[in-house]
A and B are shown apart, each in its own frame.
Chain A
Amino acid sequence: MTNWLYLHGRAFVHALRRLVGQPVGTLLSAFVVGIALSLPAAGYLLLDNVASLARGVSGTPEISVFMAPQASPADVAAVEKRLRGDAELAGYRYVPRDEALRQLERSGLGDVLGGLATNPLPDAFVITPRGSDPAVYDTLHARLVEWPGVAHVQLDSAWVKRLHALLQLGQAAVLLLAGLLGLVLVIVTINTIRLQILTQRHEIDVSRLLGATDPFIRRPFYWFGSLQGLFGGLVALAIVWTAVEMLGPPVAQLAHAYGAVFALAGPGIRESAAMLAFAAFLGWLGSAISVRRHLTERLR
């Protein structure tokens, strides 16, 4: 185990020296990888910010349940009893038809109903579902409509559902972009490692003659690819943070103009660590493919 760690340590130092020894090439590769990774990372961040904004603006979604005009007090009581025992609800509020009329009059629209002899408004319940998953609202809506005495069920936050669908579409697009640009990183690494193998061909052949095993030969290339990916990840993080710093103030000003308070948030420690790990993994993957493809045929 100690020997294995020692050999990995040497391979790591060897790879680091090679990267530092060719600063221009290393920087160019890091920028290519970094720019490629920064696009999906920025997309993810944008979606995350929009999602948190949507959560703040929409507040708690509500569903209005309107009773049929001919519903009796017994029907209303039966519906209230069922609402009280429903596990999917966070709470409910009963709005009798008389109170609804008073609210309408207070809102200045009382004249609209002035000519009518009777109160046309129905009794209603305003209910608050548990959670914020639009799918839950759909099933709840379908269930409530079937209850006896219920005439109409209205989802007040339908736009949240649309926003949720848009966010899901955005997430799929970001995922696709991440996949494609991740592929770019892998291809860049495959080519870099191929060139490294060509330039180190003499050293590889000599090492083989001196008894080097396949893992011994491959280890520095794995480290090289991983480090290149890691450097690319660092460049991507720097690009994203710079963008957040530059766009933060104008976005906050825009939000303020609409009477909202909103600050653009950069990637947190977990997101940053995940991004660096992902970049290093893609670098390792590219080097593994390249080594398998270009080194094996040279070894025998």
Chain B
Amino acid sequence: MIVFEEVVKRYPGGYTALGGVSFEIRNGELVVLSGHSGAGKSTLLKLIAAVERPSAGTVRINGQDVSRLRDRAIPYLRRNLGLVLQESRLLTDRSVFDNVMLPLVITGHPPRDAARRVAAALERVGLSGREREMPLGLSGGEQQRVAIARAIVNRPSILIADEPTAHLDPAYAGEIAALFKSFNAAGVTVLVSTHDETLFAAHRPRRLVLGKGMLVGEAAA
């Protein structure tokens, strides 16, 4: 469960990215966060991943107050989140296999079990048999699918994606949206930010709309 209570985020220099946002996302929900550029979508997702700290208010993930989390506890919070960013942010000098393997290396998974999980994750995103390829040899959509495989390989309870289809053509974007829906159907809480309101329409998600750092609209699934 993700809970925001009157969350304010002010950056040095005085820019207010979020001006008192409150909402609650229950386990197993599919939520699309929309709004124009600069509305505060990325900041909101960064607060969930503890990349940023709120200036005021409380952020709770599965009952844990992220705003008061000690620095050394942050990595363990992130291990329970699947993060997909706007750019795939793959390591270009590592194979597809090694990229997807990275979260399991970080958590010190036994190699044999880790290899099985990587194979399963790549199968979920439709990239079986591409393990040895290098990221730069893949299309933009395939790179994003590798990033999604990397995000789910640790079997997170929450999947967060920041504009995952921003640089993809509509056909690839539709595939990625369908992937997120399939993870949600398997019980994963999914929060996706996008400025393309039509993208997830077919999957009937709950919608949160941000405008100038405030929650300006909400529509149930």
* New A-B contacts (7) at CB < 8 Å, excluding given A203-B91, A206-B102: A7-B108, A202-B91, A207-B102, A209-B78, A210-B78, A211-B154, A213-B72
Q: Write out the residue numbers on chain B whose beta carbons fall within 8 Å of the beta carbon of A206.
A: 89, 91, 102
Asked if A211 meets B71 with Cβ closer than 8 Å, knowing A3-B108, A202-B91, A206-B89, the reply is no
10 A-B Cβ contacts within 8 A? A10-B105, A205-B89, A210-B102, A210-B103, A210-B106, A211-B106, A211-B107, A212-B75, A216-B75, A300-B71
Asked if A209 meets B105 with Cβ closer than 8 Å, knowing A202-B89, A202-B91, A214-B72, the reply is no
Q: Write out the residue numbers on chain A whose beta carbons fall within 8 Å of the beta carbon of B79.
A: 210-211
CB distance from A160 to the nearest CB of B (A): 60
B83 touches A210 (CB 8 A): yes
A211 touches B103 (CB 8 A): yes
A6 touches B108 (CB 8 A): yes
Q: Which of B49, B91, B154 contacts A209 (CB 8 A)?
A: B49
Which of B51, B75, B102, B150 has most A Cβ within 10 Å?
B75
| Interface residues of A, Cβ cutoff 8 Å to B | 3, 6-7, 10, 202-203, 205-214, 216, 300
B51 touches A209 (CB 8 A): yes
B15 proximal to A (CB < 8 A): no
Asked if A212 meets B106 with Cβ closer than 8 Å, knowing A202-B91, A203-B91, A300-B71, the reply is yes
CB distance from A12 to the nearest CB of B (A): 14
Q: Write out the residue numbers on chain A whose beta carbons fall within 8 Å of the beta carbon of B77.
A: 211
Q: Write out the residue numbers on chain A whose beta carbons fall within 8 Å of the beta carbon of B75.
A: 208, 211-213, 216
Q: Write out the residue numbers on chain A whose beta carbons fall within 8 Å of the beta carbon of B71.
A: 300
A203–B77 Cα distance when bound, in Å, is: 19
CB distance from B46 to the nearest CB of A (A): 10
A211 touches B108 (CB 8 A): no
- One digit per residue, 1 when the CB lies within 8 angstroms of any chain A CB and 0 when it does not, for chain B 75-110 equals 111110001010001010000000000110111100
Q: Write out the residue numbers on chain B whose beta carbons fall within 8 Å of the beta carbon of A209.
A: 49, 51, 78, 83, 85, 89
A138–B79 Cα distance when bound, in Å, is: 71
Tell me which residues from 101 to 151 in chain B have a Cβ below 8 Å from any Cβ of chain A. Answer: 102-103, 105-108, 150
A208–B75 Cα distance when bound, in Å, is: 7
Q: Write out the residue numbers on chain A whose beta carbons fall within 8 Å of the beta carbon of B103.
A: 210-211
CB distance from B149 to the nearest CB of A (A): 12
How would you classify the secondary structure of chain A's contact residues: helix, strand, loop or mixed? helix
A102–B91 Cα distance when bound, in Å, is: 94
A210 touches B150 (CB 8 A): yes
CB distance from B161 to the nearest CB of A (A): 13
CB distance from A17 to the nearest CB of B (A): 10
Tell me which residues from 38 to 92 in chain B have a Cβ below 8 Å from any Cβ of chain A. Answer: 49, 51, 71-72, 75-79, 83, 85, 89, 91
A214–B103 Cα distance when bound, in Å, is: 15
CB distance from A193 to the nearest CB of B (A): 19
Q: Which 5 pairs of residues, A with B, have the shortest CB-CB distance?
A: A211-B79, A211-B78, A3-B108, A213-B75, A211-B75
CB distance from A292 to the nearest CB of B (A): 15
Question: Residue on B with the closest CB to A14?
Answer: B105
Question: Residue on A with the closest CB to B111?
Answer: A6
A7–B114 Cα distance when bound, in Å, is: 14
CB distance from B157 to the nearest CB of A (A): 14
Q: Write out the residue numbers on chain B whose beta carbons fall within 8 Å of the beta carbon of A203.
A: 91
A207 touches B51 (CB 8 A): no
A6–B49 Cα distance when bound, in Å, is: 27
Q: Write out the residue numbers on chain A whose beta carbons fall within 8 Å of the beta carbon of B91.
A: 202-203, 206
A184–B108 Cα distance when bound, in Å, is: 36
A216–B49 Cα distance when bound, in Å, is: 19
Q: Write out the residue numbers on chain A whose beta carbons fall within 8 Å of the beta carbon of B107.
A: 211
CB distance from B206 to the nearest CB of A (A): 25
CB distance from A297 to the nearest CB of B (A): 13
Tell me which residues from 140 to 192 in chain B have a Cβ below 8 Å from any Cβ of chain A. Answer: 150, 154
Question: Residue on A with the closest CB to B73?
Answer: A213
A10–B109 Cα distance when bound, in Å, is: 12
A10–B101 Cα distance when bound, in Å, is: 13
A205–B102 Cα distance when bound, in Å, is: 13
Which of A7, A210, A213 has most B Cβ within 10 Å?
A210
Q: Write out the residue numbers on chain B whose beta carbons fall within 8 Å of the beta carbon of A202.
A: 89, 91
Q: Write out the residue numbers on chain A whose beta carbons fall within 8 Å of the beta carbon of B102.
A: 206-207, 210
Question: Residue on B with the closest CB to A300?
Answer: B71
